[in-house]
Amino acid sequence: MSNKINTVLFDLDGTLIDTNELIISSFLHTLENYYPGEYGREEVLPFMGPSLKETFGSINPAACDEMIRTYREYNLAHHDLLVKEFEGVYESVRTLHENRMKLAIVTTKLSDVVTMGLKLTKLDEFFPVVVAIDHVTNPKPDPEPVLKALDLLGASSANAIMVGDNHHDILSGKNAGTKTAGVAWSAKGREHLSRYEPDYMLERMPDLLSIVGV
């Protein structure tokens, strides 16, 4: 069987759409409520990628659910104001779609917020499959979300690549047996991603097209 890539799985936040400001401001708003003056931008950057349960549970297990609610209320209220598309994303995804690539979103966001982001950036028409955190038991870096997306697409890990801005994306892809690509525009920086040895590092999203051969 040929190992030519015919399936591309994308993380959403920080990979296809620029939600960095939205996420950072949502964390700062929430943490300021509970720990006034204790958290700045640098302190919340490590929270980008893991699930909210993992992050807030590590800070304050007793108030975790309440903190998640505070975060989500702010996040939804400011979503359309702060979310932008990364340069070259729409054109690249459209080209993949036109070349009959199997495409899916694999994210640690809730599915309703994923839908908002995809509609806002007009990417929704290209993704028949979305695997969000409310669709799985074990989020990234566990292989479950990637394997679920592959199953829904009728695709094989040997012919797939997972693209993301966080080490959780790279590890989830590796754990599921796919190729992996990091994005150099990650808020955590390319050095951080490089330590997890993705197969490829994209400087711009159009770089992906030559990797998959379209």
Question: Are the beta carbons of 27 and 47 closer than 8 angstroms?
Answer: yes
- Per annotation, catalytic residue among 11, 13, 18, 169: 11
Q: How far apart are CA 42 and CA 141, in angstroms?
A: 23
Told to judge if 207 belongs to the known catalytic residues of this protein, a careful annotator would answer no
- Contacts of residue 156, defined as CB under 8 A and 6 or more positions apart, other chains included, come to 1, 7, 150
Which of 10, 131, 29, 16 lies closest to 78, judged by CA?
A: 29
Strands 129-131 and 160-164: unpaired
Residue whose entry in the numeric block shows the structure tokens 């966001």: 109
18 strand-pairing partners: 84
Which of 158, 144, 116 lies closest to 19, judged by CA?
A: 116
Residue whose entry in the numeric block shows the structure tokens 């309440």: 66
Report, as residue numbers or ranges, the catalytic residues: 11
